Structures are given as C-alpha cells and as structure tokens.
Amino acid sequence: MNFNFKKSLGQNFLKDNNIIKKISNSINSSKEDLIIEIGPGAGALTKELVKKESDVICFEIDERLKSILSKIKSDKLNIIYEDFLKVNINDYINKEYKKIFFVGNLPYYITTAIINKIISESNPFEIVIMIQKEVAERFMAKPNSKEYGSLSVFLQYNFDIEKICSVSKNCFIPIPKVDSMVIKLKSNKKAGLKNEEKFYKLIKDAFKQKRKNLRNNLKNYNLDNIEKKLNSFNKDLTYRAEEITVTEFIEISNHLD
C-alpha cells in the first residue's frame, strides 16, 4: 500500500480478512441500529460493515484517506473527517436508533479517553474494539491479579466484557511492536449503585497506590464505616484494592454515608 503512515496517529491498518470478518460478524445489528466506526483507516472493516442493514458513520481524523475511503459506495455510509475526541457524537446522529454499536482499532494511548467519551456522550449498546493485548487483559482482569485495577472495576461496572479473538502484530501494515486483542463491551450496568460519582472516586482512591492497603489509600474516608462493610465480606482494611470485587466496591460505596 502506497501510503505514508503517521506514527503520531497510531496508524496500523489491519490486513487480515479473517480477523476483519470476525469483527464484523460479532456485531449483530439491524436496520433500526447505527454502527459508529472510529478510525476506519483504509476502510477494510468499513467495506464489511456497509453490507449490514444498519446505517454506518465513520470518524476519520486523516483527510489524506479521502481518496481511498470515497471508493466505498453506500447510501448507508457517512464519513466524517474529524477527530472523534473533539466532536459531539450526537451532532451527527440525525434520527432515533434502537441500538448504537461502536467499533474501531484504537491506538493504545487514547483507548481510555475514547471509551470515556462514548459513555459520557451516548448510550452504547455494544463497543467492539481492537486494542493492545495488555490493555485488553487489564479491562477483563479479575480480582487478585496484578492486571486488576481501577479501570477494570470501572469498565466491569458498566459492561460485560468478552474476548472475540487475539490478533498477531503480523496482521497489520506497518507491523506494530505488540499483539492486539478484539474485545466486546456490552452495556450492562451492575444494579444497586446509589451514586456513580462517589463510586468512581472511591475506586480511583482505593487503587491510588496499588502496593498500599485500603487503610492507607482511604485514610481520608470514614474508615470505621468502611471496615464494618468489609467485615461483612470477611475482609478488613489490611486488604488491598486488588482483592475487592466490583460488587463489593458497589456495597462499600453505598455504605459511605
């Protein structure tokens, strides 16, 4: 492919048709739904997405790709040449959809920012993303593992997360330094939380220094109150945040008052 790839934009284009089809097949959308693709690149996945009944909106930051993407002809396709992180998603959604699917091959350094934006600006039904393998493992990490952190708790509160497939670095042009993974995040907020803002602050503080226990990281909280709730799980303030489950964090958050 005769194209000057920009490292600053995290441009690594997927060339493996089997992986492309796996990503497309993981999106079970209908004509009442919308698919939003973030960073279509040369349009390898876009060509599969427009075969579905759904409308498709693509956000591409690099206008040099216009000549390539313009060759994809579909009445259902709308390509916006803007930085996804800088637009208001709703400005480009011109009708009501039953479900909204987000899909993309995300550069690792803006993965979290993009997911935060999707959550804050829309009501996503599913997010299917290809990301760095290590980042995906953090998203899906379980308690008592070194990968489990505040991001794991945040995402697992908002979504059910499943692995679609692993992707070798050799499936890309140019070849990146790391392998990737495709994961699906399906909206499913865990029930029972009273105050999201309080919950998000709690998990951020609890994991502030991963080597320290809850007594140290949460010293600005009412520790007696937290310990009572921990005791109901047969745990105490000597435990670290990585030993506390998502459900337990929800109960602690609800008990803060």
Continuous H helices in the chain: 17-25, 44-49, 66-69, 111-121, 133-140, 150-158, 196-206, 214-217, 223-231, 246-254
3-state DSSP call for residue 23? helix
Residues 89, 146, single domain; the answer is: yes
Q: Flag whether 207 is in a domain.
A: yes
What's the pLDDT score for residue 10? 53
Contacts of residue 73, defined as CB under 8 A and 6 or more positions apart, other chains included, come to none
Spell out the long-range contacts of 220-229 with Cβ–Cβ below 8 A and sequence spacing 24 or more: 221/256, 222/256, 225/255, 225/256, 226/252, 226/255, 226/256, 228/255, 229/255
Q: For residue range 14-65, what is the model confidence (pLDDT) as tens digits?
A: 778 999 999 999 999 999 999 999 999 889 999 999 999 999 999 998 888 8
Q: Pick the last residue of a domain from 170, 187, 204.
A: 187
- Nearest-angstrom CA–CA distance, 36 and 163: 20
Q: For residue range 156-166, what is the model confidence (pLDDT) as tens digits?
A: 999 999 999 99
Q: For residue range 100-135, what is the model confidence (pLDDT) as tens digits?
A: 999 998 887 889 999 999 999 988 899 999 999 999
Residues 56, 139, single domain; the answer is: yes
Q: Flag whether 1 is in a domain.
A: no
- Nearest-angstrom CA–CA distance, 41 and 105: 9
Q: Flag whether 205 is in a domain.
A: yes
Q: Flag whether 151 is in a domain.
A: yes
Residues 122, 37, single domain; the answer is: yes
Residues 201, 153, single domain; the answer is: no
Q: Number of folded domains in the chain?
A: 2
Q: Pick the last residue of a domain from 187, 208, 233.
A: 187
The residue range of the domain holding 233 is 196-254
Residues 64, 113, single domain; the answer is: yes
Closest CA to 128 of 100, 153, 108: 100
What's the pLDDT score for residue 196? 94
Structure tokens at 170: 């050799």
- Nearest-angstrom CA–CA distance, 54 and 188: 22
Q: Pick the last residue of a domain from 162, 187, 212.
A: 187
Residues 152, 123, single domain; the answer is: yes
Give the CATH number, domain containing residue 141: 3.40.50.150
